[in-house]
Amino acid sequence: MSREAAFIAALRGLATHPAARGLADDCAVLDLGSETLVVTHDAMAEGIHFLPGQDPADVAWKLVASNLSDLAAKGAEPLGVMLGYQFGVDDARFVEGLGEALAHYGVPLLGGDTIGAAGAQVLGLTALGRATHRPVPARGGAQIGDALWITGPVGAAMLGFEALGGSTGADSTAFRRPSALLAEGQALAPAVSAMMDVSDGLLLDASRMARASGVTFAIDSAAVPIAVPEMRRADALRWGEDYQLLFTLTAGAQPSVTAFRIGVATASGAAPIILDGRPLDEEGNLGYEHG
């Protein structure tokens, strides 16, 4: 078990409120009368989620988009964000990019906190949303026989990261300024049995959905759309930050948005993922885990 997984497991004893969903999801889901509030918080660290010296405006954009992507996976409509900001090398440029992202998604800044600290910059954002459909989709819920779908290709963020780090000439937009698929999430929410966004790698995130749902996903790697040369397909399946939506539908159902069928839910086995007939578990290299 990774350090990240072990720490989250230790926290589950404290997260007993139903809104926490047992810390098995990306968002808290809190019923408030006739409305449901969806809340998420993500952090980004220099050297992990963004490169030292990277344009702070792009960092701000990514911070917003990555959090709104969690809301998208719940079919939620964003209500606002709160920022946790550690002062960096160009705070004005960060504010400029933050304004661009908030205007693009039509989301207000509601507040937050600022700190000064030595060392690598660490940033956080809390995003608040309103559920557009109830029950709110979760990672759990996939049933045996359900088809596994993804909204688009993986690997573009990997190419973007490499372009920034080594000047490969590839388009770096997918890494610098990813998109949160809010409209797609809201369209899918009434139909899916399970849904999440792909932030840590397709195989790792699919394994998390499988564990939460109590199934195993049999995935056909050739069916997964990729944004990289074929020789790098295996890398693309494990590299995160593409923020596509991964979801399940009952057998025979067709999604209301453009998507690609990549597998099927089977009875739970020794491993959460079967890739091209070979069982894989979380102890292998399925994606990115902290610690």
How do residues 22-60 score in pLDDT, each as one tens digit? 778 889 999 999 999 999 999 999 988 899 989 999 999
How much is the pLDDT for 11?
Answer: 82
> Cβ–Cβ contacts within 10 Å for residue 169, how many?
8
Chain-centroid distance, C-alpha 212: 15
Whether 58 and 104 have beta carbons less than 8 Å apart is answered as no
Give Cβ neighbours of residue 28 (< 8 Å, ≥ 6 apart).
19, 20, 21, 38, 39, 40
Which tens digits make up the pLDDT trace of 173-197? 999 999 999 999 999 999 999 999 9
Which pair of structure tokens corresponds to residue 19? 């809104």
Which pair of structure tokens corresponds to residue 143? 């049933």
Which pair of structure tokens corresponds to residue 208? 């998390």
Low-confidence ranges of the chain (pLDDT < 50): 289-291
Instruction: Pick left, alpha or beta for residue 264 (phi over 0 → left; psi -120 to 50 → alpha; otherwise beta).
Output: beta
How much is the pLDDT for 291?
Answer: 45
Whether 167 and 160 have beta carbons less than 8 Å apart is answered as no
How much is the pLDDT for 13?
Answer: 82
Domains and CATH numbers, the chain: 3-131 (3.30.1330.10), 147-280 (3.90.650.10)
pTM for the predicted model, two decimal places:
0.93
